[in-house]
Amino acid sequence: MQYLAITPKLGAELEPGTELTSFSDAEIEELKLLAAERGVVVARDQTMDVHSQVGFGRRLGALMETTVNPPEIPDELIVIKAGPKSKSAAGTAWHSDVTSEAVTPGLSMLRMEQVPDSGGDTLFADMVQAFDALSPPFQALLKGLTARHDSRGHYLYRSGAKRLDELPSSNHPVVRTHPLTGRDALYVNAAFVSCINELSKTESASLLAMLYDHVAYSVSFQCRVRWAPNTVVFWDNRVVQHHAAFDYYPDARLGYRLTVVGEAPTLATAN
């Protein structure tokens, strides 16, 4: 699959003229592997609507659903919307999608229909490089730890639940292994992780703060995607975190995201 690298190790933009809806089954598998290896895959000038996006998404795997969409929006999509009346926007902190689930997301696919003239970029951080940048003794420490991932309020209304304690919490390894590449990646994020299970409250808070700063400030393993109408971006939640810049108020931004079911995170014992 031909692409232009966004950075040497992170991100791939598919060559102009690539039409996702015409992909063969073999090309779908290539896309999954490319996302696993590069973390982020960008496809420009796609001809899709909400229904063809869901149809394509089903070819990637089973899809997560929400129960609160209006009838014209398929349950597999989350509407990403901000405008002149918005005081905030979705995803404005470093995170990986819905890690509070026992079976966490694999790929996410966001298709943007309306974007501001400038701003509204999405930043991505490579959790494989983030883990590799740590010293071997620190890597060994992290591989022996697990973290508790709790649901947050912004997912409450999408679930149909009435209280946060009705939503799932899960324990996952602090370092997980990608099932396709066999590479290890850091797997804690500020949006969902409440604590490191094996540490005291003070130790947990200090370690998590250090790891979150490591992700946020290490620009050498980040990339930035600028949106245009009809751009589609895939990211592999197993190996990247993302952050949506809300710097375009009062302009409008509208898109649709679907999320492919992945697997329960594990760390390969051979590593």
> Which is nearest to 190 in space by CA: 128, 247, 241, 245?
241
Contacts of 248 (CB under 8 A, 6+ apart): 82, 116, 118, 119, 120
Note the maximum CA span of the chain. Answer: 53
Token pair listed for 29: 């598998």
Cα distance between residue 233 and residue 225, in whole Å: 9
Backbone region of residue 16 per phi and psi (left: phi > 0; alpha: psi in -120 to 50; beta: other values): beta
Contact 244, 226 (CB under 8 A): no
| Sign of the torsion angle spanned by Cα atoms 152, 217, 7, 227 | positive
Pairing of strands 146-150, 193-196: antiparallel
Q: How many CB atoms lie within 10 A of CB 157?
A: 12
Give the active site residues: 95, 97, 242, 257
Beta bridge partners of 169: 150
Pairing of strands 78-82, 240-244: unpaired
> Which is nearest to 102 in space by CA: 50, 35, 159, 151?
151
Q: How many CB atoms lie within 10 A of CB 59?
A: 14
